[in-house]
Amino acid sequence: MIREPAVAGQFYPGAKPELFKMVSGLVNKNATQKKALGIVSPHAGFIYSGIVSGAVFSGVKPAASYIVIGPNHTGRGRPFSLMKIGAWLTPFGRIQVNKRLAGDLLKRSRFLQDDPVAHAFEHSVETQIPFVQFVNEGATFVPIILSNAGVDIYREIGNDIAESIKQYPSDVLIVASSDMTHYEQQKIVVDKDKEAINAILELDEEKLLKKIKDFDISMCGYAPVVVMLCAAKKLGAKHAELVKYQTSGDASGDYSAVVGYAGIIVS
């Protein structure tokens, strides 16, 4: 099964030369890279959030395989969905779904289900793939889409991901795809995002969920971030670093209603 791109030509260039030019300007291949267990990367149009995604992908060593977790914006498919087999197509070419890793996750998890429908038109995973392909053109990946649930479910999914990574013979990086606060004034967005970012930097998923509730933070990918944190800690994570933060206003010049973007490395 080939998953065709849903947002090529919209969120990022639809032709390979233009996409290569854009991504090569966002990713610094000479940057100091660290071995990481997980990252947080935004998923807006590359003209808005690509600088942040490029910075975070620049700062980590490329992995052989990636588990890319995104929120469900479309409402399609099952609540906790992955694709077990097939390939995704971008202007850079095909990237193969890692059927060994995906199959192990399906066997291990009570919640994850094989459901390509959830992925057909969802952009949150797709917008990470050109960066994955650029830093490692031979990489494989597992796409996961998560809907709303309680922390206990997220924690169990995270633990299952960690156990699957432990049995896999090559390096795996977990990518949590999320934008931060949506469509408020710049100062409000920055202040709210600081609360959420600090909880992530403390590797505290419960505190993150509490901050989101207490400060009414419209962070669309909190579920992927919580699952990534749980998995990374199970794998031994002790540290998180904010690599880059900006808002859509930094690209558009309009600070009246912005979206926040954070790039974070967990190691």
The domains found in the chain, sorted by start residue, are 2-266 (3.40.830.10)
Identify the pLDDT of residue 68.
98
Identify the pLDDT of residue 29.
86
Q: Per residue in 188-214, is it b (16+ CB within 10 Å) or e — as a string?
A: ebbebbbbbbebbbebbbeebbebbee
**How many whole angstroms separate alpha carbon 116 and alpha carbon 114?**
7
Report CA 168 to chain centroid distance, whole Å. Answer: 20
Q: Quick check: helix, strand or coil at residue 241?
A: strand
Identify the pLDDT of residue 25.
98
Residue 190 exposure: Cα atoms within 13 Å on the Cβ side: 12
**How many whole angstroms separate alpha carbon 265 and alpha carbon 267?**
6
pTM, full prediction: 0.98
Q: Do the beta carbons of residue 18 and residue 46 sit within 8 Å?
A: no
**How many whole angstroms separate alpha carbon 189 and alpha carbon 257?**
9
CA angle (128 as vertex; 190, 55 as ends), nearest 5 = 55
**How many whole angstroms separate alpha carbon 75 and alpha carbon 81?**
12
User: What is the chain's pLDDT, residue by residue, as a tens digit (267 residues)?
Assistant: 999 999 999 999 999 999 999 999 999 989 999 999 999 999 999 999 999 999 999 999 999 999 999 999 999 999 999 999 999 999 999 999 999 999 999 999 999 999 999 999 999 999 999 999 999 999 999 999 999 999 999 999 999 999 999 999 999 999 999 999 999 999 999 999 999 999 999 999 999 999 999 999 999 999 999 999 999 999 999 999 999 999 999 999 999 999 999 999 999
Identify the pLDDT of residue 43.
98
